[in-house]
Amino acid sequence: MASTDSDRPQDACLLGWVGQVCPDLHTLISIDGKSVRGSGWAHMEPSIFETLDKGHGRIETRHCVAVSAPDYMSELNRWPRLKSLVRIERTRDIGGQVSVQTQYLISSAAPDARHLLEASRMHWAIANGLHHCLDVTFREDASTVRLRNALTVLWEAADRICGKRLKALIPKLVDAMERHGHLDLDPVVKAKLLQVSAATIERMLANARAHIDGQRKRRTGVGSAIRRSIPVRTFADWRDPPPGFFEIDMVEKHCGGSKIDGEFVHTLTLTDIASGWTECVAMRVRNQRLVIEGFEKAAADLPFAMLGVDSDHDSAFMNQSVLDYCKGRGLVQTRSRAYKKNDQAWVEQKNGAVVRRLVGYGRLSGVSMPGTRWRSCTRHRGYTLTSSSLRSS
């Protein structure tokens, strides 16, 4: 309604849908057919007009109510020619299935319900003609571009999972992303998304999968980001460090033969590079919080300060909790190269010479197990000349 008299014919009027041109007016317009609810509106007499159409297997009733706009609304700079507020209620009956749609409009025309209803229907006739052209001539509804783009967005948000898993996740994922404002889907596209099959998902995402850095692989997650933030230290990078820099490792399960699932006792082994001093901390289960407790326990027993830790890519070490602990204590945290056991030669040697030799390979579990055997393991530290001198000083 920003048009001026020079922009339009004198007998023309403007009609706008409230949801499109002014969403905040929804709370101001509420017409019940006899009066307008709101301060100073109850005395207004509405103009009412109703039509009934039958055809194409449906019965459609249109009920239009129009009232004069309050003076304070027409005085607003944004709507200087506002004259009427309109409500159109469409009731559609298709084979006994009844649906109701209500729309609110504002107009610069007088509050004539019949005239305003006809004007709104003319608008829909234009819109339907354009849609028919797009659908029949350009086959817009048959195009899969928008569906493919929507699937790609959901696939990325779901960490590039397979089509079968994405199919099951789509309803909840669409709801969550729309609720948080990350997705705004056209109703037609949304309906197709909820009906798409797993095979169609795989077919539509084939090109996207083929162009992921030239390889078909999933995106790295949070653990990979943490791992990349920790610098690599190889066997040759140690040089001649002062006491306090430890290689750490986890003796995964005290069991022989093949690995099996279950909660078994683990040993956290810490070996000082400079002195060979070795601390072994028993853990009832494999847990990052227990790793931090093991650091605290080992640091309390050391004759020198702990300065840094170097580990492999074990998830018990490559996590946010351990990373925050090391930063908070001022410890230098580094990691070895993947699948390079030589980068942790010192602690790997102690795993065999100390832990396996004294505790063995038997499968151990239970709260009471980290006891006598680990006390003897702790007493059997790697005392070298350097560590003995540090101990006596």
Per residue in 68-121, pLDDT (tens digit) is: 887 766 555 566 778 888 888 989 898 888 989 888 888 888 888 898 888 888
State the average pLDDT for the chain.
76
Do 1 and 77 form a contact (C-beta atoms < 8 A)?
no
Percent helix, percent strand, percent coil in the chain, to nearest 5 = 40, 20, 40
* pLDDT above 70 for 140: no
Percent of the chain past pLDDT 90, that is, above it, reads 22
With cut-offs at 50, 70 and 90, classify the pLDDT of residue 270: very high
- Rounded CA-CA distance 280/108 in Å is 84
* pLDDT above 50 for 201: yes
- Rounded CA-CA distance 378/298 in Å is 10
- Rounded CA-CA distance 351/268 in Å is 9
* pLDDT above 60 for 283: yes
Do 190 and 171 form a contact (C-beta atoms < 8 A)?
no
Structure confidence at residue 334 (pLDDT): 93
Which sequence spans correspond to the domains of the chain?
5-137, 145-210, 225-392
Report the top-level CATH class of 225-392. Answer: alpha beta
* pLDDT above 90 for 350: no
Structure confidence at residue 8 (pLDDT): 46
Angle (CA) 190 194 195, round 5°: 115
* pLDDT above 60 for 291: yes
Nearest of 296, 282, 297 to residue 369 by alpha carbon: 282
Judged by phi (left if over 0) then psi (alpha if -120 to 50, else beta), residue 148 lies in: alpha
Structure confidence at residue 261 (pLDDT): 53
Structure confidence at residue 18 (pLDDT): 66
With cut-offs at 50, 70 and 90, classify the pLDDT of residue 30: very low
Tokens found for residue 278:
């070795």
* pLDDT above 90 for 296: yes
Note the pLDDT tens digit of each residue in 220-244: 555 677 888 899 998 888 888 999 9
Judged by phi (left if over 0) then psi (alpha if -120 to 50, else beta), residue 211 lies in: alpha
Residues 6+ apart with CB under 8 A from 384: 275, 276, 277
Q: What average pLDDT does range 356-378 have in this prediction?
A: 57
User: What is the CB neighbour count within 10 angstroms for residue 312?
Assistant: 22
Do 52 and 65 form a contact (C-beta atoms < 8 A)?
no
Structure confidence at residue 272 (pLDDT): 93
Which of 33-42, 142-151, 154-163, 317-326 shows the lowest mean pLDDT across its residues? 33-42
Tokens found for residue 345:
């030669």
With cut-offs at 50, 70 and 90, classify the pLDDT of residue 54: confident
Burial 101-125 (b: 16+ CB within 10 A, else e): eeebbbbbbebbbebbbebbeeeee
What is the number of H-type helices and E-type strands within the chain?
Answer: 15, 10
Percent of the chain past pLDDT 70, that is, above it, reads 69
Q: What is the DSSP letter of 357?
A: H
Structure confidence at residue 258 (pLDDT): 53
Note the pLDDT tens digit of each residue in 302-348: 999 999 999 998 888 999 899 999 999 999 999 999 888 888 888 88
Q: What average pLDDT does range 162-186 have in this prediction?
A: 89
Do 70 and 40 form a contact (C-beta atoms < 8 A)?
yes
